[in-house]
Amino acid sequence: LYSSIYVFLICDVIAKTFKLKNYQPIVSCVIIFIAIMAFEPASIVDFLNISGTFRQSVFFFFFILPVLIPMLYKITKRKRIDKS
């Protein structure tokens, strides 16, 4: 309940600051920003512990995804062509 009130207040303040008519388009952006901020480490020690995990995930993002994404695109493209 408290988090929903905080999100509403943040969105309302942003809407009033930029003179927007409605605060609702801002809600999803604020929630995403809060989620990103929640994953930040609290101290430098936590950051150094996380950096080991980060090195392992870099392999996935930079070597496996560039191969995986075109393969998935070709598979979905074939399915779309077959349905037409």
The 10s digit of each residue's pLDDT in 8-57 is 898 888 889 888 888 888 888 888 888 877 777 777 777 667 666 666 66
Give Cα separations from 56 to 8, 27, 44, 63, 76 (angstroms): 37, 33, 19, 11, 29
The whole model's pTM is what? 0.47
Compute φ and ψ for 65, nearest 5 degrees: -60, -40
Give Cα separations from 59 to 18, 30, 72 (angstroms): 41, 30, 19
